[in-house]
Amino acid sequence: GAGVSQSPRYKVAKRGQDVALRCDPISGHVSLFWYQQALGQGPEFLTYFQNEAQLDKSGLPSDRFFAERPEGSVSTLKIQRTQQEDSAVYLCATIGGGARNTDTQYFGPGTRLTVL
């Protein structure tokens, strides 16, 4: 597609429910990032994939958060037993090659998760 797409755009979950958020990268993009953006804050890094390999998951806030990218394309961020503090916008970003610090990341529109 023309850009990074994410689905669903909005998700409401009851506390304790599991959710799965999907990211479809720009075709052929090797590097994929997940960020969490709380209300009124800047995005914060969660995890990074290069192809199917998860090279950095240092930003995942707890073991309830899990991400995968099994075929090196679509990625899914899963949150188990959601808590109210998980309410945020979850952003996906991709880069064409193996990432370098000068590279532009292309962001999807995000998924707004609200946990009641």
Partner 1 sequence: AQSVTQLDSHVSVSEGTPVLLRCNYSSSYSPSLFWYVQHPNKGLQLLLKYTSAATLVKGINGFEAEFKKSETSFHLTKPSAHMSDAAEYFCVVSDPPGSGTYKYIFGTGTRLKVLA
Measure the CA angle with vertex 36, ends 28 and 94; round to 5°: 10
Question: Binding of partner 1 at residue 66 (CB under 8 A)?
Answer: no
Identify the helix (H) or strand (E) that includes residue 37: strand 31-37
CB of 107 to partner 1, least distance (A): 4
Q: Name the one range near partner 1 by CB under 8 A: 17-25, 41-49, 66-74, 77-85.
A: 41-49
Count other C-beta atoms under 10 Å from residue 14's C-beta: 8
CB of 93 to partner 1, least distance (A): 8
Question: Binding of partner 1 at residue 70 (CB under 8 A)?
Answer: no
Report cis status (omega within 30 of 0) of the bond before 8.
Answer: yes
Question: Binding of partner 1 at residue 90 (CB under 8 A)?
Answer: no
Question: Binding of partner 1 at residue 101 (CB under 8 A)?
Answer: yes
